[in-house]
């Protein structure tokens, strides 16, 4: 089982979007050997649902974010993950500070590294829509979908190689 976690600030906007979208894409592809979850760097929203604007934008695009409950990333769990995907460089720095080994640090990447267009444009940060409006949540979802499509394809290729 491959384990992936998505990380943002409070686990109510960007990382739940990424968790829900990646899980959906993997389910559509029939990939059941990847476990996906999400968490925040901070503890501000533990136990709360996703931001209502996140749930609304997900719903408009055919995803269900209603069951999400925020949690905080615990650095002692690095060993249980294969990939720890951050929304922005601030999260990468926080995760690197919490990583205890080089192997843990090697698991940390920016989510948008899986979107070839973002890589080509050099726009690897996933801006926080929290302070914005509907357009900001729509942009965020679009960016997350592109990255998750690339990630799902890569995970599927890796699994196919491992099984052959």
Residues annotated as catalytic are: 8, 14, 128
Q: Which residue has the tokens 């050099």?
A: 122
Q: What is the 3-state secondary structure (H, E, C) of the chain?
A: CEEEEEEECCCCCHHHHHHHHHHHHHHHCCCCCEEEEEEECCCCCCCCCCCHHHHHHHHHCCCCCCCCCCCECCHHHHHHCCEEEECCHHHHHHHHHHCCCHHHHHCEEEHHHHCHHHHHHCCCCCCCCCCCCHHHHHHHHHHHHHHHHHHHHHHHHHHHHHHC
Residue 94 near residue 17, CB atoms below 8 Å: no
């Amino acid at each position: 089982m491959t384990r992936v976690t998505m990380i943002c600030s409070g686990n109510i906007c960007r990382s739940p979007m990424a968790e829900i979208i990646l899980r959906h894409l993997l389910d559509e592809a029939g990939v059941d050997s990847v476990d996906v979850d999400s968490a925040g760097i901070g503890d501000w929203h533990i136990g709360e649902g996703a931001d209502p604007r996140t749930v609304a934008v997900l719903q408009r695009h055919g995803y269900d974010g209603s069951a999400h409950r925020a949690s905080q990333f615990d650095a002692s769990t690095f060993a249980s993950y294969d990939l720890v995907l951050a929304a922005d460089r601030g999260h990468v720095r926080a995760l690197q500070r919490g990583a205890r080994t080089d192997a843990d640090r090697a698991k940390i990447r920016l989510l948008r590294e899986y979107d070839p267009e973002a890589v080509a444009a050099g726009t690897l940060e996933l801006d926080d829509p929290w302070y914005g409006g509907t357009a900001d949540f729509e942009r965020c979802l679009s960016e997350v979908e592109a990255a998750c499509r690339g990630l799902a394809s890569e995970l599927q290729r890796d699994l196919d190689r491992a099984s052959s």
